[in-house]
A and B are shown apart, each in its own frame.
Chain A
Amino acid sequence: AQSVAQPEDQVNVAEGNPLTVKCTYSVSGNPYLFWYVQYPNRGLQFLLKYITGDNLVKGSYGFEAEFNKSQTSFHLKKPSALVSDSALYFCAVRSVNAGNNRKLIWGLGTSLAVNP
């Protein structure tokens, strides 16, 4: 069965430092991987996705993610964190079940706090 794990409930980083939010996945077949961000009292916003091709995917707000097939990981990164990056981050993987119903499987989320 498809699954997503975000091993860290919270990540703290100083402003200006690089940040990494971790995600590992388990899928049968080709992985379709997504990152979303949720700012306080807001809906989710799409950041980036991996479908195929280059392992390094660039997305919104200066974020990027590296797909690593051997480690089944899709970690979110940013070279220099901003205080405004403080939010809840979700990793998701596309799933199709036996009934051909497609849906996103969501990680539990990682709360990122960027300290000034």
Chain B
Amino acid sequence: SAVISQKPSRDICQRGTSLTIQCQVDSQVTMMFWYRQQPGQSLTLIATANQGSEATYESGFVIDKFPISRPNLTFSTLTVSNMSPEDSSIYLCSVEDGQGSFLMNTEAFFGQGTRLTVV
């Protein structure tokens, strides 16, 4: 299984500022995703990070607010821009590997998460 390093693990930020979260994987992976999770609640997919092209965003999430980079197959960043208290949440990086038809049955692996508090 992939080992995922996510940082920072937590941060307290002022409203109006931006925070960039990094996700580093110890091996090349096919897919990388960014999720948001309120403590004790379910996961909401923000976007799929595509290597070498623009991320694919889910409904309700836009690039201006959550710009994502994925310069190679082992690294991605998520920026939370112009933060407000409503952005306080846990942000999770997830990776999946596999090729072709095996993409469907591949399990996901997660980083430890970034706990963001906006004040």
Q: Is the pair B40, A111 in contact by a Cβ cutoff of 8 Å?
A: yes
A interface residue count range (under 10 / 10 to 19 / 20 to 34 / 35 or more): 20 to 34
* Cα distance, A110 to B92, chains bound together (Å): 19
* Contact in complex: B109, A103 (CB < 8 Å): no
User: Which single residue of chain A is at the shortest CB-CB distance from B1?
Assistant: A46
Chain A residue, CB-CB nearest to B48:
A101
Q: Which residues of B contact A56 (CB under 8 A)?
A: none
- A94 on the B face (CB < 8 A): yes
B110 touches which of A43, A49, A107 (Cβ 8 Å):
A43
Q: Are B112 and A103 interface neighbours, CB within 8 A?
A: no
Q: B45 an interface residue at 8 Å Cβ cutoff?
A: yes
B40's nearest neighbour on chain A, judged by CB, is: A88
Q: How many A-B residue pairs have CB under 8 A?
A: 52
**Are A49 and B107 in touch, CB under 8 angstroms?**
yes
User: Is the C-beta of A34 less than 8 angstroms from some C-beta in chain B?
Assistant: yes
Asked whether, in the complex, the Cβ of A46 is within 8 Å of the Cβ of B42, the reply is: no
Q: Are A46 and B108 in contact (CB under 8 A)?
A: yes
Task: Given A43-B92, A46-B108, A90-B42, output 6 extra A-B contacts at Cβ < 8 Å.
Answer: A44-B110, A90-B43, A102-B31, A104-B45, A106-B42, A109-B40
Chain A residues in the interface with B (C-beta under 8 A): 32, 34, 36, 42-46, 49, 51, 88, 90, 94, 96, 101-104, 106-109, 111
A-B contacts, 24 of them at CB < 8 A, read A34-B108, A36-B108, A42-B112, A43-B110, A43-B111, A44-B92, A44-B94, A44-B108, A45-B110, A46-B1, A46-B107, A90-B42, A96-B104, A101-B48, A101-B56, A102-B31, A102-B104, A103-B33, A104-B45, A106-B43, A108-B41, A109-B41, A109-B42, A111-B40
